Amino acid sequence: MDIRDHIGRRVKLHDLRILMAVVQAGSMNKAAALLNTSQPGISRSIAELETAVGACLLDRKRQGIEPTSYGRALLECGAAIFDELRLGMQNIAFLADPTAGEVRIGSDIPIAASFVSAVIDRLSRRYPRIVFHLVATQSETLRRELSDRTVDLLVTRKWGLIEEGFDFEFLFDDSFVVVAGAQSPWVRRRTITLAELANEPWVLPPPESLVGSVATQAFRASGLEYPRATVFTATAEVRMGLLATGRLLTILATSILRFPTRRRELKILPVELPIASVPNGIFTLKNRTLSPVARLFIEHARDVAKPLAKKKS
């Protein structure tokens, strides 16, 4: 008998789904309630699955149920199986109607509100029946979303080395600039040093955040301490809103100011920041087939990025 036939007869998708639900819920009783079935039925499915694979899949502990090493291996396989099934159904739907479909995108909040929004706007105008699921969160959690297949792809900055299991496609470099409201007296100056602004009121990201580390690098490279900011917030949209008074200054990535449209109420000050640009691009899982709609999104992302893209040496 072919090994695929053997597995197909012994391992049932229904039982695999129940295993995933039990681990997610932390107990068989909670999983039964979640799936609207009985606890004995849950136990029977787990027992049949353990018999099929020839290994114990769950540890019963006082604090709940946890997967064994065999269970974790099967769970990773199960996540991939259900993801591929979902992809297969999307491919069939796309063949039936190439103008419709869904794509799940992960992005850090500033890029989601700027560059990704511009891509979605362009693509949705051409294909109005496509549905976009946008997960905008902190950079630190995005790669887990991709690893867990919660999203199809990430559009984010490349901080550090690319982790094993991921592919990265460069889109554009982001430089960082000092920004003020249009009413600020500093916008009339032709040249400004960072030292001149050190004692001005700032709204800055917390120094321990990723973007805050970029700002810290800029001040330290200029021989300055991180300013005693009036407001600390990691959210770029809040910082931009606070600039409207004309009193505060901040540091932003240039792409935020360009997408989805140019922000005329904000002005870039002529300050040279001694920090390197950061590459932005698309992360995908290695050896994972993307849906037609996800590939369509990537094509439009490349087009939107062209004005910002720079050749890398």
What is the pLDDT, as a whole number, of residue 98? 66
pLDDT at 1 over 60: no
pLDDT of residue 312: 45
- If pLDDT is split at 50, 70 and 90, which confidence band does 188 have? very high
List, for residues 52-89, the tens digit of each pLDDT value: 888 888 888 877 888 888 888 888 888 877 777 877 77
**What is the distance between the alpha carbons of residues 188 and 167, in angstroms, rounded to a whole number?**
44
Q: How confident is the model at residue 91 (pLDDT cuts 50, 70, 90)?
A: confident
- What percentage of the chain exceeds 90 in pLDDT? 35
Q: What is the pLDDT of residues 276-299, one digit of tens each?
A: 888 999 999 998 888 888 999 999
pLDDT of 262 reads 67
Q: How much is the pLDDT for 153?
A: 96
Cross-strand bridge partners of residue 130: 101
Of 107, 63, 89, 45, nearest in space to 256 by CA: 107
Go through the domains of the chain in sequence order and give each one's CATH number. 3-80 (1.10.10.10), 97-173+278-305 (3.40.190.10), 176-268 (3.40.190.10)
Model-level pTM? 0.68
Mean pLDDT score, 227-241 = 89
pLDDT mean over 96-107: 83
pLDDT of residue 261: 67
Each residue's pLDDT tens digit, 236-250? 889 998 998 888 999
304 has a pLDDT exceeding 90: yes
pLDDT digit string, tens, across residues 25-49: 888 888 888 888 888 888 888 888 8
